[in-house]
Amino acid sequence: MTREYLKKSVGLPPLEKQETGKIVSAMLARITAEGEEAVRAFSRELDGWQGDIIVGPDALAAAAARLPPEVKDDIRYAHGNIRAFAEAQRGSVQEFECELRPGLFTGQRVIPMKAAGCYVPGGRYSHVASALMSITTAKVAGVSDITACSPPRPGQGIPDAILFAMHLAGADRVWALGGVQAVAAMSGGLFGAMPADILVGPGNQFVAEAKRQLFGPVGIDMFAGPTDSLILADDTADAEMVALDLIGQAEHGHNSPVWLATTHRPLAEEVLRLIPGFIASLPEPNKSAAHQAWSALGEVIICSDREDMAQVADEYAPEHLHVQAADLPWWLARLQAYGSLFLGQETTVPFGDKASGPNHVLPTSRAARYTGGLSVHKFLKTVTWQRVETEALPDLARVSAAISRLEGMEGHARSAEIRLAKCL
């Protein structure tokens, strides 16, 4: 099968190399040595924040009171969908016990983590939905102690809508804190929090690097990079919708690739014609971000048939995969590598980003080849247990001892065999 690129990524221009890893490592070392005082210092220096880090009940109530009722209703609508989907996910994970052989009992338990740290980005955009996605999901999973933080804006703090969403979703405490210092404080259990068992939520390259360096002693949701999106479209697709969907995702930032794979050349050509005008109509800074992303990283691919389009999707393993083509059941059954799948032209990625229910914290940079997105499963430990009764001992001890000696592990063999002498 041959493919033709009407537009191909040229990559981003060379940037001055930032030694992100070294910067983060130095910050983490200072916070480990100096604790809360270092966190406060970084907050003043990097975020320009002079106010309290801990957001108390009165501040949360005041933020809610300032919001228009319709804004709170919209956030409640999204929260209801996100919570209901998370509850359905939680219900799909079951504990069980089974007797594999007479006297050999095994089982599975599902145990929620005790403490989670949820990072909510707050740079160019106010990520209300990110607060709902991470905190609600942790709450439904059964996490008993949830710390939520977001970067404060100088002179303002955390935007009211994010504070309302954090409180509605069930955060046990809220911090006006961003960046590496926030991740380190949640991991270390500063400011009265329990040390986090897992750190979740998207962030900039410094937040991502801090999570990477802390991973091991603490769990993380995933190593996240810039958001990406792929549309698969045939001759039934609407060019205007496709073009707007591509640009809507490109506005995330200059390094957010968007791709179109189609079997219909006229659609591809019309999308290419429409996109510059759609970009020009955006406000700043969205316009600049979308222009840079589309110019450098956007792709339009002509495929020979729908199987070829599906292979493109499997190769790119996009964070968001949107099918605007006929025979949606075929696509649902065929596609194998994506963070979240959006089926049909009535659907759009922003529905999933904001309010439809499934989580929007998703694998990027082809990580969808081996992992899914944030879910209740990330906050649960699926652990196993076993119990052996006399009836199972002869064969189980004999085979375990034999395999142990085959591997050269005599101590293991003797541990198995003594049960035959002592317990029968």
> CB atoms < 10 A from the CB of 34, how many?
12
Are the CB atoms for 357 and 378 separated by under 8 Å?
no
* Average pLDDT of the segment spanning 282-291: 94
Pairing of strands 96-101, 104-112: antiparallel
Provide, rounded to the nearest whole percent, the portion of the chain with pLDDT above 90: 91
Closest CA to 369 of 338, 341, 340, 342: 338
Provide, rounded to the nearest whole percent, the portion of the chain with pLDDT above 70: 98
Catalytic residue selected from 319, 407, 412, 417: 319
pLDDT of residue 15: 54
Q: Is residue 16 over pLDDT 60? A: no
Residue 320 a catalytic site member: yes
* Average pLDDT of the segment spanning 326-336: 98
* Average pLDDT of the segment spanning 221-233: 92
Residues listed for the chain: 424
39-67 pLDDT, tens digit each: 999 999 999 999 999 999 999 999 999 99
Where does the chain hold its CATH 3.40.50.1980 domain(s)? 4-14+226-372, 35-220
pLDDT of residue 423: 86
pLDDT band at 330 (very low <50, low <70, confident <90, very high): very high
Q: Sign of the CA dihedral 213, 383, 362, 300?
A: positive
121-149 pLDDT, tens digit each: 987 777 899 999 999 999 999 999 999 99
Q: Is residue 17 over pLDDT 70? A: no
Phi, psi of 200 (to 5 degrees): -135, 160
80-112 pLDDT, tens digit each: 999 999 999 999 999 999 999 999 999 999 999
pLDDT of residue 11: 85
CA 9 – CA 402 distance, rounded (Å)? 58
pLDDT of residue 263: 97
User: What strands lie across the sheet with 258-262, from one edge to the other?
Assistant: 4-7, 299-302, 258-262, 229-233, 320-324, 340-343
Q: At what angle do helices 179-188 and 20-34 cross, to 10 degrees?
A: 50
147-165 pLDDT, tens digit each: 999 999 988 899 999 999 9
pLDDT band at 18 (very low <50, low <70, confident <90, very high): low
Catalytic residue selected from 167, 254, 320, 322: 320
CA 110 – CA 259 distance, rounded (Å)? 39
pLDDT of residue 14: 62
* Average pLDDT of the segment spanning 253-282: 96
pLDDT band at 410 (very low <50, low <70, confident <90, very high): very high
CA 208 – CA 223 distance, rounded (Å)? 7
| Domain 35-220: which CATH number of 3.40.50.2300, 3.40.50.1980, 2.170.190.11, 3.40.190.10 | 3.40.50.1980
* Average pLDDT of the segment spanning 297-326: 97
Superfamily of domain 4-14+226-372: Nitrogenase molybdenum iron protein domain (3.40.50.1980)
* Average pLDDT of the segment spanning 380-402: 96
Residue 319 a catalytic site member: yes
Calculate the average pLDDT of the chain: 95
Are the CB atoms for 89 and 192 separated by under 8 Å?
no
> CB atoms < 10 A from the CB of 47, how many?
19
Q: Is residue 409 over pLDDT 60? A: yes
* Average pLDDT of the segment spanning 273-288: 95
pTM of the full structure: 0.92
Are the CB atoms for 299 and 262 separated by under 8 Å?
no
pLDDT of residue 67: 97
